[in-house]
Structure 1
Amino acid sequence: MAERMRVAGSMWSVPPAARAGEAHRLREAGLEVLHWDTTDGVFAREGGFSVEAAAAMTAETGLRAEAHLMVTDPLARLDAWTGFCELVVVHAEAEGWRAALDRIERRGSRPALALSPGTPATSVPSRELAVLTMSVVPGEAGATFDESALATVRALREAASGAPRLLGLDGGVTRDIGIRAAATGAGWLVSGTDLFRSPAPRAWLSDVRDAHGPPHD
């Protein structure tokens, strides 16, 4: 029996004044993980969250956390995020990403590699490595979902050849896309706009978690 889908909520598109209330509303609906995006204004447009703001809200809500570093030099920034995030994502298009993945693991967090649109699945060096496939250009929260991302997830699943691998999808993920993603091999979804605007987030979460994806840890 496949494990339920890992769902992480991103508040990039939530107005700052509403974020605390929305985090609590989604926690009551069953959300377990917050997804913290951060950028350097170079790799991706300026936006996302500071370490301090993300750490404070994570502690205040009692939710688990993961970080997505959309930066040119992740090695220089990741230590602060591994202090409270169980999983940290860096980009295959960034400088020193291999060294960054190694350091994330040494610091006790789970490393994951993000693929921007156009970056092929063959860029991933290990069939066990967790991978987050982007369906929008990094930093473009609320953009339209790129269908080719599902093909990338499928290719990554096939390349794993039965090895345990956590495969994720991020960018424009709606409830219906999440259900479809499970069929392609995704076991991890990052959703912002559609999840946080849902009038029935408990049903949203239940529907995607009950979709039969691959086993993951």
Structure 2
Amino acid sequence: MRAEEIVYPSIYSADQLFLYDELRRVEKAGYKILHIDIQDGVFCSNLSFGMKVVKGLRKYTSMPFQVHLQVMDPMSYIYQLKDIPNICEIIFHPSVEAYPGRVINTIKDMGIEAGFALTPTEPLEELQYYKGRIKSMLLWTSEADNRGAAFDINSLQKIKRTRNLFGKDLLIYTDGGINSQNLSLVLEAGADGFVMGREIFDSEDILVKTEELNEIFLRKSYIKPIRRG
């Protein structure tokens, strides 16, 4: 697999005044899935995109959306997302729901894959109850601490625990401070997909950054070298 397939650019880190141009940049670089954070200002202190913006993004790109709900009431957002086509996955935090299975069923009834997201302090073990019912687990590899959300080395152990508890069929995504300096560590811990925001959108040349990431995947045997000439 190449970076363009398993790295998900997080549009939240893009220049908010030039979202159309930022979409074009990641499309031109060949990325396949766009990651969208929806934040309500309660679950975490930030506000991100409302449905009007998400619908606007949909008008200008054919990239499938992977939606991460950082909200206290996932169901109210899920019902609104139902009207937006080409959403491949909705990920929510089960800790905010008394009955996460109800949310899973609602998402899957819409023909969309369902996944869980966990902050560094949200517990993992009891979620084994839902093994086989979710496609993925998105693990925060940093904390929303208002100090830059730096990568937390302790998150590597949680990635390994998740793999041990849920097995190889669960896709493990990571989100938070992932960059070319720590990507190898996250790969070795067992992650399958990588949400990257600032690492992608702060790059002067996304194509160059993508090749840099692909070199790391190549060294870790994630991709086969391309024969040229």
What TM-score, normalized to structure 1?
A: 0.86
Q: Distance in 2 between matches of 1:140 and 1:23?
A: 26
Tell me, yes or no, if the aligned pair for 1:38 and 1:69 is still in contact at 8 Å: yes
| Alpha-carbon spacing, 1:190–1:139, altered in 2? closer, same or farther (3 Å) | farther
Q: Deviations over 1:60-81 (max 9, x none)?
A: 1221111111111101211222
Corresponding residue of 1:159:
165
Corresponding residue of 2:211:
203
**Corresponding position: 1:15 with 2:23:** no
**Corresponding position: 1:31 with 2:31:** yes
Which AA in structure 1 matches 2:106? R
Corresponding residue of 2:179:
174
Q: Distance in 2 between matches of 1:127 and 1:212?
A: 28
Q: Distance in 2 between matches of 1:141 and 1:24?
A: 30
Which AA in structure 2 matches 1:108? G
Match of 1:113 among 111, 116, 121: 116
| Alpha-carbon spacing, 1:95–1:8, altered in 2? closer, same or farther (3 Å) | same
Q: Distance in 1 between matches of 2:47 and 2:216?
A: 28
Tell me, yes or no, if the aligned pair for 1:46 and 1:139 is still in contact at 8 Å: no
Q: CA RMSD in A?
A: 2.3
How far did residue 140 of structure 1 move? Answer: 5.9
Moved more, 50-59 or 20-29: 50-59
The one of the two structures with greater contact order (alpha-carbon pairs below 8 A, sep at least 6) is 1
Q: Distance in 1 between matches of 2:16 and 2:178?
A: 21
How far did residue 209 of structure 1 move? Answer: 5.1
Moved more, 125-134 or 59-68: 125-134
| Alpha-carbon spacing, 1:187–1:208, altered in 2? closer, same or farther (3 Å) | farther
Aligned length: 210
Tell me, yes or no, if the aligned pair for 1:92 and 1:123 is still in contact at 8 Å: no
| Alpha-carbon spacing, 1:59–1:205, altered in 2? closer, same or farther (3 Å) | farther
Q: Deviations over 1:9-31 (max 9, x none)?
A: 11223221222212211111121
Moved more, 24-33 or 107-116: 24-33
Corresponding residue of 1:77:
77
Which AA in structure 1 matches 2:182? I
Identical positions, percent: 23
How far did residue 186 of structure 1 move? Answer: 0.8
**Corresponding position: 1:103 with 2:103:** no
Corresponding residue of 1:127:
131
| Alpha-carbon spacing, 1:147–1:48, altered in 2? closer, same or farther (3 Å) | same
- Flag structure 2 segments of 5+ consecutive residues without an equivalent: 223-229
How far did residue 138 of structure 1 move? Answer: 5.0
What TM-score, normalized to structure 2?
A: 0.82
How far did residue 141 of structure 1 move? Answer: 9.5
Q: Distance in 1 between matches of 2:215 and 2:75?
A: 37
Corresponding residue of 1:89:
91
- Flag structure 1 segments of 5+ consecutive residues without an equivalent: none
Corresponding residue of 1:145:
151
The secondary structure found in structure 1 opposite 2:36 is strand
Tell me, yes or no, if the aligned pair for 1:135 and 1:146 is still in contact at 8 Å: yes
Tell me, yes or no, if the aligned pair for 1:93 and 1:116 is still in contact at 8 Å: no
Tell me, yes or no, if the aligned pair for 2:141 and 2:177 is still in contact at 8 Å: yes
Corresponding residue of 2:50:
50
Q: Deviations over 1:119-158 (max 9, x none)?
A: 2321323333310001233596951111222211111111
Corresponding residue of 2:227:
none
Tell me, yes or no, if the aligned pair for 1:13 and 1:142 is still in contact at 8 Å: no
